[in-house]
Amino acid sequence: MTAVASKTWQTLAGHAKRARAEHLRDLFAADPQRFRRFSLEHGGLLLDFSKQRLTAEALATLQGLWWEADLPGWIARLRAGEAINHTEGRAVLHHALRHQGTRPILHNGLDVMPQVRAVLEQMRRFCNALHSGEWRGATGEQILDVVNIGIGGSDLGPKMATQALAAHRIPHIRVHYVSNLDGAHLATTLSGLSPRATLFVIASKTFTTQETMQNAASARRWLVEALGEAAVRRHFVAVSTNLPEVTMFGIDPDNAFAFWDWVGGRFSVWSAIGLPLALSIGMENFERFLVGAAAMDAHFFEAAPDRNLPFTLALLDVWNADFLGAESRASLPYSQSLELLPRYLQQLEMESNGKRAARSGRDAGCPTSPILWGEAGTNGQHAFYQLIHQGGRLIPCDFMVAAEADFPLPGHHEKLLANCFAQGEALMRGKTADEARAEMEAAHVPEAVIARLLPYKVFPGNQPSTTLLLPRLDPYHLGQLIALFEHKVFTLGCIWDLNSYDQWGVEYGKQLANRLLPIIEGRTATNGLDSSTAGLIAACLKQ
The confidence score (pLDDT) of residue 542 equals 87
> What is the tens place of the pLDDT at every residue in 242-259?
999 999 999 999 999 999
Q: Residue 205's domain spans which residues? A: 107-288
Residue 509 has pLDDT above 90, yes or no: no
Catalytic residue among 68, 351, 375, 486: 351
Classify residue 283 by its DSSP letter: H
> What is the tens place of the pLDDT at every residue in 437-460?
999 999 999 999 999 999 999 999
**Mean pLDDT across 363-369:** 95
Share of the chain above pLDDT 90, in %: 94
Is 489 in the same domain as 509?
Answer: no
Tell me if residue 507 is catalytic: no
Whether the CB-CB separation of 331 and 342 falls below 8 Å is answered with: yes
Confidence of residue 123 (pLDDT cuts 50, 70, 90): very high
CA distance 424 to 433: 20
Residue 43 has pLDDT above 80, yes or no: yes
Whether the CB-CB separation of 361 and 177 falls below 8 Å is answered with: no
Confidence of residue 1 (pLDDT cuts 50, 70, 90): low
The confidence score (pLDDT) of residue 543 equals 85
Residue 41 has pLDDT above 80, yes or no: yes
Question: Quick check: is 47 in a domain?
Answer: yes
**Mean pLDDT across 94-113:** 96
Question: Quick check: is 95 in a domain?
Answer: no
Catalytic residue among 17, 86, 172, 382: 382
The confidence score (pLDDT) of residue 507 equals 83
Mark which of 228, 263, 288 sits at the end of a domain: 288
Question: Quick check: is 80 in a domain?
Answer: no
The confidence score (pLDDT) of residue 530 equals 93
Residue 74 has pLDDT above 80, yes or no: yes
Classify residue 203 by its DSSP letter: E
Is 368 in the same domain as 402?
Answer: yes
Residue 301 has pLDDT above 90, yes or no: yes
Is 335 in the same domain as 469?
Answer: yes
Question: Quick check: is 187 in a domain?
Answer: yes
Is 478 in the same domain as 508?
Answer: no
**Mean pLDDT across 141-161:** 97
Tell me if residue 211 is catalytic: no
The confidence score (pLDDT) of residue 63 equals 98
Classify residue 463 by its DSSP letter: -
Is 520 in the same domain as 475?
Answer: no
Can you give the CATH number for the domain in which 410 is found?
3.40.50.10490
Question: Quick check: is 84 in a domain?
Answer: no
The candidate with the shortest Cα–Cα distance to 466, out of 342, 340, 367, 333, is 333
> What is the tens place of the pLDDT at every residue in 197-213?
999 999 999 999 999 99
**Mean pLDDT across 493-510:** 92
Q: How far is CA 153 from the centre of its chain?
A: 9
Question: Quick check: is 100 in a domain?
Answer: no
Is 262 in the same domain as 166?
Answer: yes
Is 483 in the same domain as 513?
Answer: no
Question: Quick check: is 445 in a domain?
Answer: no
pTM to 2 decimal places: 0.96
Is 12 in the same domain as 135?
Answer: no
Question: Quick check: is 98 in a domain?
Answer: no
Can you give the CATH number for the domain in which 530 is found?
1.10.1390
Mark which of 288, 320, 338 sits at the end of a domain: 288
Confidence of residue 161 (pLDDT cuts 50, 70, 90): very high
The confidence score (pLDDT) of residue 505 equals 87
DSSP states of 155-199: THHHHHHHHHTGGGS-TT-EEEEE--SSHHHHHHHHTT--GGGEE
The confidence score (pLDDT) of residue 284 equals 98
The candidate with the shortest Cα–Cα distance to 394, out of 457, 337, 460, is 460
CA distance 499 to 364: 11
The overall average pLDDT reported for the chain is 96
CA distance 299 to 283: 25
Is 174 in the same domain as 200?
Answer: yes
Is 139 in the same domain as 276?
Answer: yes
Is 283 in the same domain as 407?
Answer: no
**Mean pLDDT across 156-166:** 98
How many structural domains compose the chain? 3
Is 378 in the same domain as 527?
Answer: no
Tell me if residue 7 is catalytic: no
